[in-house]
Amino acid sequence: MELAKVRITFFVTITTFVGYLMFDGTVHTQLVWVLLGIFLLASGSAALNQYQEYELDALMDRTKNRPIPSGAISPKHGLVFAVILSLIGSYMLYVSAGLATMELGLLALLWYNAIYTPLKRKTAFAVIPGSVIGAIPPLVGYVAAGGNLLDSNILAFSFFMFMWQIPHFWLLVMRNGNDYRKANFPTISDLYNQGQLKSITFVWTSATAVSSLLLPLMNVFSSLGLIILLFIGLFSLIIGFATIFKKEFSRKLVFKYFMGINIYLLYVLGLIIAGVI
């Protein structure tokens, strides 16, 4: 379970579920197999990432106890585990929802393991192209349900997911900056001073909040009550993050903002689900 990063892959499964509901609005037996397929494929991708980075993980306090660097699992067995999960997950997506769904799932794996993973060793800005990964699972669910990849409503949701991942990850990096330096990962903390980091965090978080306005504009939900709730959440997030300029950065403070933007995502997902069922 640790090798598969089940907490992260479970969240991938949730966004796939929301994407499915956005087209169909009901739950079918097919959905169970689609969600299981994307869960296994994402778990395989996460395990493959740990195989790719186990030597670097061994250098960081946050990751040195992961299965491979700790010696609980050998690199070879970790790789075999990753390949088996990826193959089973891909097959389940193909059988339950067709070739296009499987291709989208594999695109996420390739983007994460073949593009983002090596890129983040080279630039602190790898998270920007890397955030495409978070935009793909909703598309998997939507296409699996029979939707068109270019429908404006699912593109709006995927864009919001893309935007959310950037401040989410940068806050995580700021909280664990010393660990990343031990493994020689470039971080934005090495490029900007504290005042600039505060501005970057506030701007990207505000942009994420504003991007959620695309959801009612693209008819993901149209209820006046839900739109009012969206505005309440949006302004609460922006106002909450505006306080960042009044405080000194610390691990505790950064974690507070990190949790804040995560809670906003769950809040928006709840609004979407309420609007489509």
pLDDT of 216-239, one tens digit each? 999 999 999 999 999 999 999 999
DSSP string, the chain: -TTTTHHHHHHHHHHHHHHHHHHH-S--HHHHHHHHHHHHHHHHHHHHHHHHTHHHHTTSTTTTTSTTTTTSS-HHHHHHHHHHHHHHHHHHHHHHH-HHHHHHHHHHHHIIIIIIHHHTTT-TTTHHHHTHHHHHHHHHHHHHTT--TT-HHHHHHHHHHHHHHHHHHHHHHHHTHHHHHHTT---GGGTS-HHHHHHHHHHHHHHHHHHTTHHHHTTS---HHHHHHHHHHHHHHHHHHHGGGGS---HHHHHHHHHHHHHHHHHHHHHHHHHH-
Q: Which of 97, 122, 149 finishes a domain?
A: 149
Distance, CA of 187 to CA of 175 (rounded, Å): 11
Q: How many CB atoms lie within 10 A of CB 120?
A: 21
144 and 159 co-located in one domain:
no
- 197 or 269, higher pLDDT: 269
Question: Of 55, 78, 58, which Cα lies nearest the Cα of 3?
Answer: 78
In this prediction, residue 254 carries a pLDDT of: 85
33 and 14 co-located in one domain:
yes
Split at pLDDT 50, 70, 90, the class of 197 is confident
Averaged pLDDT, 59-77: 94
Mean pLDDT, the chain, integer = 93
For residue 110, the one-letter residue type is L
8 and 90 co-located in one domain:
yes
- 70 or 255, higher pLDDT: 70
111 and 156 co-located in one domain:
no
Do the Cβ atoms of 156 and 214 come closer than 8 Å?
A: yes
In this prediction, residue 190 carries a pLDDT of: 84
Q: Which of 149, 184, 210 finishes a domain?
A: 149
Distance, CA of 86 to CA of 102 (rounded, Å): 11
Q: Is the pLDDT of residue 140 over 80?
A: yes
- 177 or 200, higher pLDDT: 200
Averaged pLDDT, 73-97: 97
In this prediction, residue 193 carries a pLDDT of: 85
111 and 164 co-located in one domain:
no
- The CATH number of the domain holding residue 71 is 1.10.357.140
178 and 275 co-located in one domain:
yes
State the residue range of the domain holding 8: 1-149
Q: At what angle do helices 6-24 and 251-276 cross, to 10 degrees?
A: 30
- 27 or 239, higher pLDDT: 239
Reported pTM = 0.93
115 and 161 co-located in one domain:
no
Q: Which of 94, 125, 149 finishes a domain?
A: 149
Averaged pLDDT, 1-22: 94
